[in-house]
């Protein structure tokens, strides 16, 4: 099972009004936890600032924001590929 880092969970929690205490799992649906379209915009800013990356437009779709795991996979892939769109840490 995909492990979701605490740092990422902490960023997410600020945007998930229905998330209960305890760890988030990869299968948790972001919309069911209260993430709406305005929350997505604020979450993007927090992720980009928190991880010093710029998320490319081509990954900003419903599939990426479906679950905690799908969003983490997109972010971690971006960080490990050293994409031109990511800034140095």
pLDDT tens, the chain, 89 aa long: 789 999 999 999 999 999 998 899 999 999 999 999 999 999 999 999 999 999 999 999 999 999 999 999 999 998 887 644 444 33
Give the Cα separation of 81 and 10 in Å (integer): 23
pLDDT reported for residue 87: 40
Give the Cα separation of 89 and 70 in Å (integer): 23
3-class state of residue 60 by DSSP: coil
- Among candidate residues 5, 57, 66, the one with its CA nearest the CA of residue 33: 66
pLDDT reported for residue 74: 95
Using the 8-state DSSP alphabet, how is residue 58 labeled? G
Which residues 6+ apart lie within 8 Å of 55 measured at CB? 44, 47, 48, 74, 75, 78, 85
pLDDT reported for residue 38: 94
């Amino acid at each position: 099972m995909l492990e979701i880092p605490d740092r990422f969970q902490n960023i997410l929690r600020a945007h998930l009004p229905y998330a209960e205490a305890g760890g988030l799992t990869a299968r948790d649906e972001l919309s069911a936890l209260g993430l709406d379209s305005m929350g997505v915009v604020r979450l993007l800013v927090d992720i980009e600032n928190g991880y010093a990356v710029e998320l490319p437009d081509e990954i900003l779709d419903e599939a990426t924001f479906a679950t905690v795991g799908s969003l983490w996979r997109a972010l971690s892939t971006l960080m490990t590929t050293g994409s031109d769109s990511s800034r140095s840490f």
